[in-house]
Amino acid sequence: MATDELVKTTTGIAAHGAARLPSVDIDSFNIEMKDEDGFLGDRASKGAFRDILERWRKPLRKSGEDPFGKEPSDEISKKTLDAILIGDDTEAWAVVHSAIEDFAQELAYVTRRFLKSKAWAKTERIVVGGGFRDSRLGELAIARTGIILKAEDFKIDMVPIRAHPDEAGLIGALHLAPSWIFEAHDSILAVDIGGTNIRCGLVETGWKKAKDLSKAKVVKSELWRHADDEPTREGAVKRLIKMLKGLITEAEKDGFKLAPFIGIACPGVINEDGSIEKGAQNLPGNWESSKFNLPASLIEGIPEIGEHDTAILMHNDGVVQGLSEVPFMQDVDRWGVLTIGTGLGNARFTNRRKENGNGKDRDSTENGKKKSKADKE
């Protein structure tokens, strides 16, 4: 069976990288904006913050008064920087706060460009995730960015993502699945693929407690830092299958009613057939090859879960991380996500569900546009 045929006949739920999901319409994702200095996202990444920190340390280093000593800026841990924010070393505190302020200005500049784009028009709230958010300095930078934008009369809220960034990409995978799956099953498998790590998780839906999935949680997970091992593409897939099979065994042992569904968050632009058009350059091997299809490879390794054919849906990692916020975004219509990591992931959503979370489409809007009377009829 051909690869593309295999993916189509075994998912049967929605296309990979779909623009319409059960809870939201995805208005845009993975936009790569540029200015005269290059890609905008590079101005608000983890690396950008480290570069800013280094700039503030340079004049102090020349006078021999650098509070961080000889430690390179890109090796100072977030934990160390957070400790400085509540410590007694005022000079170190001032350096970190200066870096936070400059980074917030950069993030505000990038966010401003997104908000002025057609795809992000009328955005009411932006959730910020990614590894940088998992720190006090990240939270301060996000809050400061929100203040800068409000001072410029942008009616926008900037908030940190609720779930831990390591778990948001797993929890968000629930929102790739159709709601009928949750009636007979209490958990799914999820995969979050990054340029450094691959994380697999068993995600409990909590559907009986909250049908909007607001009570979902990661009950088991396994992390593989593939960047340390430098595997081949085939080796990475083999390891991923092994990790998933291990979670299936644990789910059965612990009495979970595991759905025959795997949700995958992966960097890049995901095509309908599960191939990756671009943006996967940091993954092991060539994942953008026309001969490679991750969902098909996983189905070949795990054709069934329980007594049912395995269904897989893969989407962009920024999208999936943002989807973890769906239950908490029902008081707005249009919202976005920015993920601060190696680069700056981005996606914009329009809610489809009513506030009571009953799964029905909104009557008055679609992709942020008012429906005419004729459309309703």
Report which of residues 36 and 159 the model is more confident about: 159
What pLDDT is recorded for position 359?
42
DSSP 260: E
56, 125: one domain: yes
Residue 349 in any domain: the answer is no
Of 28, 9, 37, which is closest to residue 337 (Cα–Cα)?
Answer: 28
110 and 196 share one domain:
no
DSSP-derived secondary structure for 82-128: HHHHTSS-HHHHHHHHHHHHHHHHHHHHHHHHHHTSGGGTT--EEEE
Same domain? 183 vs 248: yes
Flag whether 366 is in a domain.
Answer: no
> Which structural domain, as residue segments, surrounds residue 77?
34-160
Q: Quick one: three-class SS letters along 185-202?
A: CCEEEEEEECCCCEEEEE
What distance, in Å, lies between the first and last C-alpha atoms of the chain? 43
Please check the confidence at residue 365 and state whether its pLDDT lies above 80. Answer: no
Burial class (CB in 10 A: 0-12, 13-18, 19+), 281: exposed
Cβ(99)–Cβ(53) below 8 Å = yes
> 172 and 288: one domain?
yes
Domain annotation covers residue 358: no
Res. 375: pLDDT tops 90: no
- Within a domain: 371: no
Domain boundary among 302, 326, 350: 326
CA distances from 267 to 126, 279, 314, 341 (A): 20, 6, 10, 12
Q: Binning pLDDT at 50, 70 and 90, where does residue 354 land? A: low
Note the pLDDT of residue 372.
38
Same domain, 51 and 173: no
Clarify whether residues 132 and 187 are in a common domain. Answer: no
Q: Given pLDDT bands bounded at 50, 70 and 90, which one contains residue 40?
A: confident
Residue 360 has pLDDT above 80, yes or no: no
Look at residue 282 in the predicted model and tell me its pLDDT. 87
How confident is residue 38, by pLDDT bands cut at 50, 70 and 90? Answer: confident
Over the stretch 338-347, which tens digit does the pLDDT of each residue have?
Answer: 999 888 899 9
Same domain, 226 and 241: yes
pLDDT category of residue 33 using cuts at 50, 70 and 90:
confident
Are residues 228 and 238 in contact, defined by beta-carbon separation less than 8 angstroms? no
User: Looking at the predicted structure, is the pLDDT value of residue 376 above 70?
Assistant: no
Q: Indicate if 187 and 129 belong to the same structural domain.
A: no
Confidence of residue 3 (pLDDT cuts 50, 70, 90): very low
In whole angstroms, how far apart are CA 250 and each of 63, 298, 302?
58, 19, 15
Average pLDDT in the 336-356 region?
85
Q: Is 194 in the same domain as 117? A: no
State which amino acid sits at residue 201.
G
Higher pLDDT residue, 360 or 202? Answer: 202
How many angstroms separate the Cα of 265 from the Cα of each of 175, 190, 247, 294, 367? 12, 8, 17, 11, 23
pLDDT digits (tens, 9 = 90+) for 137-157: 999 999 999 999 999 999 999
Both 169 and 137 in one domain: the answer is: no
Distance, in Å, from the CA atom of 344 to the CA atom of 45, rounded to the nearest integer, reads 6
- As a whole number, mean pLDDT of residues 218-225 equals 96
Q: What total number of domains does the chain contain?
A: 2
Is 286 found in the same domain as 142? no
Residue 335 belongs to some domain of the structure: no
Query: If pLDDT is split at 50, 70 and 90, which confidence band does 13 have?
Result: confident
The pLDDT of residue 12 is 53
For residue 20, list its beta bridge partners: 25
- How high is the mean pLDDT of the chain? 89
pLDDT band at 221 (very low <50, low <70, confident <90, very high): very high
In the DSSP assignment, the letter for residue 74 is G
C-alpha to C-alpha distance for 314 and 93, rounded to whole angstroms: 42
Is 284 in contact with 264 (CB distance < 8 Å)? no
Grade residue 61 by pLDDT with cuts at 50, 70 and 90.
Answer: confident
| pLDDT score of 211 more than 60 | yes
pLDDT above 60: residue 363: no
- Would 356 be classed as within a structural domain? no
CA distances in angstroms from 144 to 165, 245, 276, 327, listed in the order given: 20, 44, 35, 25
Mean pLDDT throughout 41-66?
91
> For the chain, how long is the longest CA-to-CA vector?
74
Domain boundary among 160, 177, 207: 160
Domain harbouring 264, CATH code:
3.30.420.40
pLDDT of 236 over the 80 cut: yes
Average pLDDT over residues 332-356: 87
Q: Which two tokens stand for residue 28?
A: 């845009």
Q: Does residue 369 fall inside a structural domain?
A: no
Residue 353's pLDDT band (cuts 50, 70, 90): low
For the stretch 275-315, pLDDT in tens is: 999 989 889 999 999 999 999 999 999 999 998 999 999 99
Residue 334 lies in a domain: no
List own/partner pairs for 214-217 with CB under 8 A and 24 or more apart: 214/327, 214/328, 216/171, 216/174, 217/167, 217/171
State which of 102, 134, 160 marks the end of a domain.
160
Instruction: Give the pLDDT score at 65.
Output: 84
Cβ atoms of 287 and 294 closer than 8 Å: yes
Residues 288 and 204 in one domain: yes
